A and B are shown apart, each in its own frame.
Chain A
Amino acid sequence: MKHLDEYRDAGRARALAAEIARVMTRPWRIMEICGGQTHAILRFGIDQLLPPELELVHGPGCPVCVTPLELIDRAIALARMPGVLLASFGDMLRVPGSGTDLLAARARGAQVAVVYSPLDAARLAEQKQDRQIVFFAVGFETTVPGVALAVREARRLGLKNFSILSAHVLVPPALRAILGSPQSRIQGVLAAGHVCTVEGFEDYEPIARDYGVPVVVTGFEPVDLLQGILLCVRQLEAGRAVVENQYARAVRREGNREARALVRAMFEPVDRKWRGIGVIPLSGLALRPEWREFDAEQRFSLSTGEVQESPECIGGLVLQGAKKPLECPAFGEHCTPERPLGAPMVSSEGACAAYYRYGRTHV
């Protein structure tokens, strides 16, 4: 981890910010897709170094934020079933469903465990043979290979008490939906480095071409983000729209072939509803038929009823980069991390949480 220091160097960061200001001849608006990048921007104050004519808007790259209410409600219903233990990443547990969240459900007796890896959930299933372990599988392309490994391991071990509730989502279809929307104001895109580590960036090449926006695959440290922004601004100033790779130390064009092959062998694209956005065709992943015995939605009978959300939160607009968290009248008033109206306020990748935690620069 020592290498991190060079990507957090104040001198390099300031030099890059000055270069961005120097090459800009007019205002530009760039979206960083990933919530991890949003948090880094606010945590390090990168936006404070940039010229005011450069606007950063925040994208949909917060997997727990876009997980639809219905799926969270189904997860809570599973956790309340006798003999079932629901395992997920800690970030998912505080996100409100239509009535409650998983942590509050746990305080009322539901069985919920935090794990750091899908393989830990498979291990739980091995240890607790008298219980059904359901892993609430949340995440973009980055986390799917780990889930695939866990399911494969469960089959190898002959585990009959392990299944997944898949909420996996894919970036490129969502990016197309956002850029293709008539309300889109996005002129350039920073693609999420971690996602591209797995999937590569071939899929972004037609997107850059079709929508005429530069796409720069970008890392997560201050110097990474500023380099990504500089590459994007240079393209915008030159009238170009291609895919560039700032994060070459981790990302290759073809991604991680082995991981991609594993995911394709076990999962297939399906239509998925994104919370606050709506159904995006072929934007989710579900287990293929030959692996469906590990699909919790097949194993348990779960209600699929639609639930209504209240209109006070503008999470949907925030996730599309159409509004910023501070434009929400509820922000910090009716909506706080303790009493959230929407998921972006509680997730560690949520834009509203980033503004709440890091966004105040003056007392």
Chain B
Amino acid sequence: MSDFALFCPAPLGERERVLMAHGGGGRLMRELIEGLFAARLKPQHETDAATLAAGGARLAFTTDSFVVRPIFFPGGDIGSLAVHGTVNDLAMAGAEPVALSAAFILEEGLEMETLRRVVDSMAQAAQRAGVRIVTGDTKVVERGHADQIYITTTGIGVLAHDGELAPGRAAPGDEVVLSGDIGRHGMAVMSAREGLTFESEIVSDSAPVHREALGLLENGVRVHCMRDLTRGGLASAVIEIARAAGVRVELDEARIPVREDVRAACELLGFDPLYVANEGRFVAFVAAGEGERAAALLPGGAVIGKVLETGAGAVTLRSLIGAARVLDLLSGEQLPRIC
């Protein structure tokens, strides 16, 4: 084999179309948001919710679309998810959710009973979260031009604090607090979609987190920023905060809770739980010395790391066997249409 031919292919020419990875929460999505949306629309905020002052009130404002497949999965459905997702984006800005709008894109032929179940689920989720759905819109498209049902929810909330919660406020000494075990939503949807069965059914963590998040503020924890762990999972959320603040964050893999069944499913399918989507978990960066108190206020809370120094915005992970490596944004799509 001394005459090995050594070669590799030419660069790709077909990048000028939207790929699934543009919605995957990883690097291509970041490129799309920064290079196309932000460059043209020039939003003032880089967080999931904008904060505005209007008529003497300080408000948070956010919007989110939901395309999850299948629309019913263990632990939730597209309706409850659409409520929780927007409530949680408001909560991460430190806002008490007040009102939501809901817009529906329906595929011709969708069974009315299915739609009823989804909308009932939304109503229940809104009631449990203490938020009202006050306005909405409905469009129907031809069969095959959408997949059953897509929902967009927009939310408004009143800020529950006088300060500012922003990724840029993460500072050296801050402790990183995680609100519970990770990876459940992604693996629950994946198992339902692929018909995979494990010893026990993996149930999504989909839930409103505003009471937990606002509870930190009410109890006087000095919170610098919060982020819910949706697409891209824990790793992507912490990396984005580290970059925005220009700080180095170190996480300790051994302290990050992952349920046994979720870990098994991830192993089987080749996913890294650090990057798997959640719908009822968040991280809070809190002032030095306040991590344990914050964790105790959260059911399942844990201090999983700290901010080390300013400089290159990056995250390092201390692995289970004690070695260190840098965590990076995910390439490509790990799990499409998870929310």
Q: A residues bordering B, Cβ < 8 Å?
A: 1-2, 4, 8-10, 13-14, 42-46, 48-49, 69, 94, 96-101, 103-105, 107-108, 116, 177-178, 180-183, 222, 276-278, 280, 308-317, 320, 334, 336-343, 346, 348, 356-363
Contacts and interface: CB of A to CB of B under 8 A. Distances in A.
Interface stretch (B4-12, B57-65, B78-86): B4-12
Contacts of A98: 9-10
Contacts of A363: 248, 311-312, 314, 316, 326
Nearest to A178: B1
Given A104-B17, A107-B17, A314-B8, 6 more contacts: A45-B325, A311-B7, A358-B325, A361-B325, A361-B326, A363-B326
Given A183-B2, A338-B28, A44 B9 contact: no
B227 interface: no
Contact of A46 (B8, B13, B323, B328): B323
Given A116-B269, A278-B5, A43 B325 contact: yes
B277 to A, nearest CB: 16
B336 to A, nearest CB: 9
B39 interface: no
Interface string B288-329: 000000000000000000000001101010011111111010
Interface in B1-57: 1-15, 17-21, 27-28, 31
B260 A316 contact: no
Interface in B210-262: 248, 254, 260
Nearest to A97: B9
Interface string B182-203: 0000000000001010000000
Contact of B321 (A8, A320, A356): A8
Q: Is the interface of A mostly helix, strand, loop or mixed?
A: loop
B144 interface: no
Contacts of A360: 325-326, 328
B326 A1 contact: no
B24 to A, nearest CB: 11
A48 B323 CA distance: 6
Contacts of A2: 260
A44 B270 contact: no
Contact of B260 (A1, A97, A100, A310): A1
Contacts of A69: 9
Contact of A99 (B4, B7, B13, B328): B13
12 contacts: A4-B263, A99-B13, A103-B19, A181-B2, A182-B2, A315-B6, A336-B331, A337-B331, A339-B11, A356-B328, A360-B328, A363-B312
B8 A276 contact: yes
A15 to B, nearest CB: 11
Contacts, number: 168
B75 interface: no
B11 A341 contact: yes
A300 B148 CA distance: 35
A310 B8 contact: yes
A108 B4 contact: no
A101 B12 CA distance: 8
Contacts of B328: 356-357, 360
Given A104-B15, A181-B1, A359-B325, A276 B269 contact: no
B115 interface: no
B264 interface: yes
Interface string B256-290: 00001001100101101000000000000000000
Nearest to B19: A107
Given A8-B321, A46-B321, A116-B194, A362 B8 contact: no
Given A49-B323, A278-B1, A313 B194 contact: no
Chain A CB count within 10 A is highest, among B13, B196, B332, for: B332
Contacts of B196: 116
A348 B270 contact: yes
A100 B321 contact: no
Given A4-B263, A316-B5, A337 B332 contact: yes
Chain A CB count within 10 A is highest, among B194, B267, B321, for: B321
Contact of B320 (A8, A108, A357): A8
A309 B9 contact: yes
A94 to B, nearest CB: 6
A344 to B, nearest CB: 9
A317 B91 CA distance: 51
Given A13-B321, A45-B325, A104 B9 contact: no
Nearest to B242: A363
Contacts of B11: 310, 334, 339, 341
A317 B7 CA distance: 9
Contacts of B194: 116
A8 B21 CA distance: 32
A43 B319 contact: yes
